[in-house]
């Protein structure tokens, strides 16, 4: 009986670490090509159906990623508010020794939701953490950026936090901070996500040196990376496609995973710019078969597109539902325990460009170009309205649902 309990406990740990295996980064505007800070989260979760939701907030309105199964959620996982303050978290597994039946990081999502409602700056968030009742039941790496140039990572446990300033060369010499599911302030070599950290860290260091740290680069080179440095594998080499391989591979320690529910890059503003132009680039679902679209807070109270919002019948966002259908084709082998870790790499990518990722990139790339031009116009004085901004997102996502995904399918 004791052996059975040990085995069940080990399986539960494995399932938990798989389900909440997020990869994230905070980037100082000092190292981005346009001088604007970035906040990225590749979210892994038990709740694969994610959606965007508008919140009125106590002090500041905000938009955020939520679990689409919930009609009135009080937890969010990455978001941005009207002051230009943005926040995300990854679950850490080496900051707290759990007692009894405690749920790890039980307050994480609620704390993010509350912070978006009341914080405007990195310093506000420091004060917020300082004044929380203890124990806080937080165990997380929490990344934040603001409209004053702030960019930081907090490793937070029940009673204290460690602060890392992405603008400080002594702390972040290359202008970014990457985190997965362990904390540097925690127990050494405990936690999870070390292989994903190696992948992301190597990529970010190179991109920082070459001036490539943009939202589009993060989606293409990180959120859709199929590299494993321990195995010396890069699936895009072509060596794992037919006829060299079977076209199948095992989902192990890649940044995108079977458990990925969304990938989001929040592109902030410079200190002199309008925080309304903070852009939440959002790819709902499994990033390799999703398309990133811009989402803004301005006008979202009235005009946020239904394509990204929870549909009560689907219990998913319509775009997310389309992504899920492709994702399920990729993870299609279900024959006994553990087989859901196998995925059809051949469907995602082929050397001749026939995979899902290439097909969808042809649609996504023009979005970045078009919105990039429009953002620069708005940043340099062209007037804009919330309805205009929301219309862009609605039109792009409607085309996705009605034209693009039916062709890929």
pLDDT, average across residues 352-367:
96
Pick from 30, 40, 44, 104: which is nearest to 254 by CA? 44
**Residue 408: per-residue pLDDT:** 92
43-71 burial code (b ≥16 CB/10 A, e <16): bbbebbbbbbbbbeeeebbbbbbbbbeee
Cis peptide before 243 (omega within 30 of 0): yes
Element (H, E) at 41: strand 38-44
First to last CA, the chain: 48
As a whole-number percent, the residues of the chain with pLDDT over 70 amount to: 95
In a domain, 8, yes or no: no
pLDDT, average across residues 205-217:
98
In a domain, 10, yes or no: no
d(CA 27, CA 142): 13
pLDDT, average across residues 27-48:
98
Q: Are 72 and 322 in contact (CB under 8 A)?
A: no
- pLDDT tens digits, residue range 118-138? 999 999 999 999 999 999 999
Token representation of residue 143: 């990344």
Q: Are 356 and 226 in contact (CB under 8 A)?
A: no
**Residue 3: per-residue pLDDT:** 38
In a domain, 14, yes or no: no
**Residue 11: per-residue pLDDT:** 38
Pick from 21, 72, 50, 52: which is nearest to 253 by CA? 21
Pick from 94, 92, 124: which is nearest to 108 by CA? 92
d(CA 264, CA 294): 10
List the CATH number of the domain containing 297: 3.60.60.10
In a domain, 195, yes or no: yes
- pLDDT tens digits, residue range 389-399? 999 999 999 99
**Residue 191: per-residue pLDDT:** 97
In a domain, 148, yes or no: yes
- pLDDT tens digits, residue range 276-329? 999 999 999 999 999 999 999 999 999 999 999 999 999 999 999 999 999 999
Q: Quote the mean pLDDT of the chain.
A: 95
Residue 194 has pLDDT above 90, yes or no: yes
In a domain, 15, yes or no: no
Classified as helix, coil or strand, 400 is helix
Of 58 and 20, the structure prediction assigns the larger pLDDT to: 58
Query: The domain containing residue 175 runs over which residues?
Result: 24-408
Pick from 223, 195, 186: which is nearest to 25 by CA? 223
Number of domains in the chain: 1
pLDDT, average across residues 244-254:
96
Q: Are 400 and 291 in contact (CB under 8 A)?
A: yes
- Residue whose token pair is 């972040």: 172
Residue 7 has pLDDT above 50, yes or no: no
The whole-angstrom distance between residue 44's C-alpha and the CA centroid of its chain comes to 8
**Residue 19: per-residue pLDDT:** 58
As a whole-number percent, the residues of the chain with pLDDT over 90 amount to: 94
- pLDDT tens digits, residue range 82-117? 999 999 999 999 999 999 999 999 999 999 999 999
d(CA 292, CA 349): 18
d(CA 213, CA 128): 30
Q: Are 26 and 176 in contact (CB under 8 A)?
A: yes
**Residue 207: per-residue pLDDT:** 98
**Residue 21: per-residue pLDDT:** 86
Contacts of 51 (CB under 8 A, 6+ apart): 65, 66, 67, 68, 284, 308, 309, 310, 316, 317, 320
In a domain, 5, yes or no: no
In a domain, 86, yes or no: yes
Residue 2 has pLDDT above 90, yes or no: no
- pLDDT tens digits, residue range 72-88? 999 999 999 999 999 99
């Amino acid at each position: 009986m004791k052996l059975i309990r040990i085995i069940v406990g080990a399986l539960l740990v494995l399932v938990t670490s798989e389900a909440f295996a997020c990869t994230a980064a905070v980037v100082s505007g000092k190292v981005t090509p346009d001088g604007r800070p970035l906040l990225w989260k590749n979210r892994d979760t038990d709740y694969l159906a994610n959606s965007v939701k508008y919140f009125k907030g106590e002090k500041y309105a905000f938009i955020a990623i939520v679990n689409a199964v919930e009609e009135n959620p009080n937890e969010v996982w990455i978001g941005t508010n009207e002051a230009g303050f943005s926040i995300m978290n990854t679950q850490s597994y080496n900051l707290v020794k759990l007692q009894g039946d405690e749920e790890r990081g039980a307050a994480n999502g609620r704390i993010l939701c509350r912070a978006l409602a009341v914080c405007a700056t990195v310093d506000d968030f420091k004060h917020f953490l300082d004044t929380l009742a203890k124990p806080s039941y937080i165990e997380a790496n929490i990344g934040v950026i603001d409209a004053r140039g702030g960019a930081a990572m907090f490793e937070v446990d029940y009673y204290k936090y460690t602060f890392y300033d992405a603008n400080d060369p002594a702390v972040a010499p290359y202008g970014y901070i990457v985190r997965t599911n362990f904390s540097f302030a925690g127990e050494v070599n405990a936690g999870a996500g070390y292989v994903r950290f190696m992948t992301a860290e190597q990529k970010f260091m190179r991109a920082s040196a070459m001036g490539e740290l943009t939202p589009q680069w993060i989606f293409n080179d990180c959120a859709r990376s199929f590299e494993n440095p321990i195995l010396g594998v890069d699936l895009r080499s072509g060596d794992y496609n037919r006829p060299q391989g079977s076209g199948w591979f095992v989902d192990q320690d890649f940044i995108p995973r079977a458990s990925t529910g969304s990938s989001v890059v929040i592109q902030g503003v410079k200190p002199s710019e309008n925080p309304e132009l903070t852009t939440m680039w959002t790819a709902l679902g499994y990033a390799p078969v999703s398309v990133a679209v811009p989402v803004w807070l301005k006008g979202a109270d009235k005009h946020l597109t239904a394509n990204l919002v929870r549909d009560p019948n689907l219990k998913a966002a319509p775009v997310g539902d389309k992504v899920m259908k492709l994702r399920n084709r990729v993870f299609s082998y279900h024959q006994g325990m553990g087989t859901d870790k196998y995925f059809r790499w051949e469907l995602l990518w082929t050397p001749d460009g026939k995979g899902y990722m290439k097909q969808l990139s042809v649609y996504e790339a023009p979005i970045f170009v078009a919105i990039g031009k429009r953002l620069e116009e708005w940043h340099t004085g062209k007037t804009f309205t919330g309805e205009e901004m929301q219309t862009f997102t609605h039109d792009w996502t409607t085309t996705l649902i009605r034209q693009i995904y039916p062709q890929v399918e």
